[in-house]
Amino acid sequence: MPSKLELSRYPLQWLFPVLILVVVFTVYPFAYAIYNSFFQILLVLPTKPFIGFKNYANVVASPYFWESLGNTLTFAAITAPVTVLISLGVARLLLTRFVGRGVVRALVLLPWAIPGSVAGILWLWIFHGQFGVLNALLYKLGIIGSYIQFTKDPRLAKVCVMIAHVWTQIPFTSVLLMAALTTVNKELYEAAEVDGAGVFRRLLSVTIPSVAGMMIISLIYELIIGITAYDVVYSLTGGGPGGATTLLSYYIWKESFTQLNFGTGSALGVLVALLTLVLITTILKVIPNQVMVREGE
């Protein structure tokens, strides 16, 4: 076990193995995608001619790109804040002492252990238009007179995908916010109670300001996950109906592995990476530095 003195004396030496992994699994694939985006790469062609920015021009000119871009931005803009807010409530609940808290914690973490593709199949079983659990329940309660085709209606399909995605993301974000909530000074809650603050007011005046930094970090993380979401869409709706739930990541998969057009797929991947970078940079520019500094302290 290296001492703190050794770690501080040779920082690059100890970081070198991690840097190798970053280069191999992040830098190289991204650089290779940029390289491929300037070539026409079709598996049906024996060669890959250089075509410059034509792949990018074709992508921008495609209505499917703009549709999937709009779907992705809407998806991320809704699911990210919803996930963070629900996770904050879940985290606060799980820090409260009650009978069976350990069991509830295990159940909350369960979606984290389920692969996204499996989660999509699970929610398809719930939302299925003929054999779905939700339809059967609503019908027995007399709420609906006939089964609803949740995944066949464009608007309902979008909601279904968002619900499934949020369900898979709540556990991790809840763990992050639980860790942040444990650092909040209990005297602040006691002082708020003395002042007559109710639960909602304590949430707004104590809880949220105290964990604002972690909430922003979680929001940025969820935005990235939302922009790159793929597995739940693939197994739940397959991008349908009529492209209503086709996100950019799913569009990349279709171009690369259905159309076998890896040049266009690479160009799409680069554009998604740039979109994510611009989005994160914009958020960090807008956020007051005091919020992040407070969280760091």
- 208-245 pLDDT, tens digit per residue, is 888 888 999 999 999 999 999 999 999 999 998 989 99
String of DSSP letters for 106-168: HHHHHHHHS-HHHHHHHHHHHH-TTT-HHHHHHHHTTS-SS---TTTSHHHHHHHHHHHHHHH
Res 142: pLDDT: 92
Total domain count for the chain?
A: 1
List the one residue out of 233, 228, 206, 212 whose CA is nearest residue 290: 212
List the one residue out of 147, 167, 151 whose CA is nearest residue 159: 151
Q: Is residue 13 part of a domain?
A: no
- Per residue in 146-192, pLDDT (tens digit) is 999 999 999 999 999 999 999 999 999 999 999 999 888 787 777 87
For the ranges 42-46, 71-75, 108-112, the one whose mean pLDDT is highest: 71-75
244 near 149, Cβ under 8 Å? Answer: no
Q: Is residue 29 part of a domain?
A: no
Q: Is residue 162 part of a domain?
A: yes
Res 40: pLDDT: 92
pTM for the whole thing? 0.88
- Per residue in 243-296, pLDDT (tens digit) is 999 999 999 999 998 888 999 999 999 999 998 888 888 888 877 665 555 554
Q: Is residue 21 part of a domain?
A: no
List the one residue out of 167, 171, 160, 169 whose CA is nearest residue 233: 160
List the one residue out of 136, 143, 161, 137 whose CA is nearest residue 151: 161
Integer Cα distance of 202 and 259 in angstroms? 54
Integer Cα distance of 178 and 199 in angstroms? 18
Q: Is residue 88 part of a domain?
A: yes
E runs forming strands in 159-214:
none
Q: Is residue 5 part of a domain?
A: no
Q: Is residue 31 part of a domain?
A: no
Within 13 Å of residue 242, how many CA atoms lie on the same side as its CB? 5
Residue type present at position 239: G
CA trace torsion 97, 103, 105, 108 (10° rounding): -140
Q: Phi first, then psi: what are they for 50, rounded to 5°?
A: -75, 130
CB neighbour list of residue 235: distance below 8 Å, 6 or more residues apart: 116, 117, 118, 119, 120, 121, 124
Q: Residue 143: which domain range?
A: 63-296
Q: What share of the chain is helix, strand, coil (3-state, %, to 5)?
A: 75, 0, 25
Integer Cα distance of 94 and 173 in angstroms? 13
Residue with tokens 């193995």: 17
Residue 255's domain is classified under what CATH number? 1.10.3720.10
Residue type present at position 297: E
